[in-house]
Structure 1
Amino acid sequence: MARTREFDDNAVLDAATDRFWRQGYAATSVRDLGEAMGLVPASLYNAFGSKHALFALCLDRYLDRNMRERIERLEAKQPPRVAIETFLNEIVARSLADPRGCLLVNSALEVAPHDAEIGAVIAARLAELEAFFHRCVIAGQRDGSITAAPSARDLARLLLTTVMGLRVLSRARPEPALLRGAARQALTLLDPPACTN
């Protein structure tokens, strides 16, 4: 008979995510994780298998809560151009509010180059974000709110690059004018050409 877990999964995963987020994967030891989660190493291994498996679970959970839920919310409730603007504005706000940066970007820089499994997770999630932008751009080109000049694919890639750039830049220069200005400039590239009569 399997033993019932004597801890709250959400609470311990939140604690582990925060520790990985603050310290990075390599600098976070199993002892650090156990301390943060309130678990002895044996319990941690029994519940999650390994530090690597725990990190993968924390990253996936973070991305579901922070990226996938935002995409679903914006696509369901806002016109395409507004959804893109809101997404970028929320990224700027989060970047300014949280000195830890973005766990996805932190992991892409630290872990992905040396870990094919985590690299594949990150690549797949970045592809989801690009696909969200691509759908919005296509819909915006159809309704006239986004320029039809560059291809939808190129604009989606530009928006993905903008998000990643904002997140990286915010770690070194968390300046509101800088980040808001960069986001604003990226959005101007979506503007349809002005009508001249």
Structure 2
Amino acid sequence: MARPRSFDEAKILTAVVDAFWTQGYERTSTRDLVKCTGLNQPSLYNAFGDKRSLYRRSLEHYLECSVRQRIQRLEGFSDAGMAVTGFFAEVLDRTLNDPFHRGCLLVNSALEASADDADLRQAVAEELETIRSFFESRLLVFRVQRDGFLAIDAKQGAHHLLSVLLGVRVLARMNPDPACVTDAIEIALNSLGLPPLALCDIH
């Protein structure tokens, strides 16, 4: 019978997320992972596999605790337009208030994934599709709530919002001018007739 783990898996994965998110996959060493988790190398790899496997597990943990929970919560908004605006308001808040300028681990993974890492590229593509689908579904409801009015086709609008999101998250890694990312989001929202950021209080 396998011995029960003597550590909190979620806590370990959160520490690993912070390491990979701050330093990137390539720059994060085994020594870094041992240090941030407090586990020795054999225990760490016996529990989670090699470095690549640990990265995939930590990315999954990040997505579940961040992106998916956000979407699930926002899907409960009665005002579909505010759900989309709320999504971007939270992204903007994280972008401007992260002292390490880490951006988004999902987007960073897309940028770091090598051409021969088909599994990681597929995982990233599937998660981006989840976000795009959220945008499209909210825009379809928003159109109904606004008596059929929507500036452009919902699918096209979702593609546009996803593109803006990715651009903002890349800019986030460069310590961007707040006005630059705010304007990019506001123009995207305005082009679809969505509520402005000023109407969304995320605190």
Q: Which one is further off, 168-177 or 40-49?
A: 168-177
Matched to 1:12, the amino acid is: I
Q: Once the 2 structures are TM-superposed, how far is the Cα of residue 46 of structure 1 from its aligned partner? A: 0.8
In 2, the alpha carbon distance for the partners of 1:90 and 1:112 equals 29
In 1, the alpha carbon distance for the partners of 2:112 and 2:29 equals 15
Q: Is the 8 A contact 2:151 2:191 kept in 1?
A: no
Matches within 5 A, 1:42-57: 42-57=42-57
Q: What is the aligned partner in structure 2 of residue 84 from structure 1?
A: 84
Q: Is the 8 A contact 1:59 1:103 kept in 2?
A: yes
TM-score (norm 2): 0.89
Q: Once the 2 structures are TM-superposed, how far is the Cα of residue 180 of structure 1 from its aligned partner? A: 1.1
Q: What is the aligned partner in structure 1 of residue 197 from structure 2?
A: none
Matches within 5 A, 1:26-65: 26-65=26-65
Percent pairwise identity? 41
Q: Is the 8 A contact 1:112 1:122 kept in 2?
A: no
Q: What is the aligned partner in structure 2 of residue 152 from structure 1?
A: 154
Secondary structure of the structure 2 residue equivalent to 1:191: coil
Runs of at least 4 residues of structure 1 off by over 4 A?
A: none
In the TM superposition, what whole-angstrom CA distance separates every residue of 1:119-158 from its partner, at most 9, and x where no partner exists? 1111000000000000011111112178434211100000
Change (3 A) 1:113 1:79: farther
Q: Once the 2 structures are TM-superposed, how far is the Cα of residue 106 of structure 1 from its aligned partner? A: 0.9
Q: Which one is further off, 141-150 or 17-26?
A: 141-150
Q: Once the 2 structures are TM-superposed, how far is the Cα of residue 8 of structure 1 from its aligned partner? A: 1.5
Task: Point out where structure 1 has 5 or more consecutive residues left out of the alignment.
Answer: 193-197
| 1:123 paired to 2:125 | yes
| 1:169 paired to 2:171 | yes
Task: Point out where structure 2 has 5 or more consecutive residues left out of the alignment.
Answer: 195-203
In 2, the alpha carbon distance for the partners of 1:147 and 1:93 equals 29
Q: What is the aligned partner in structure 1 of residue 134 from structure 2?
A: 132
TM-score (norm 1): 0.92
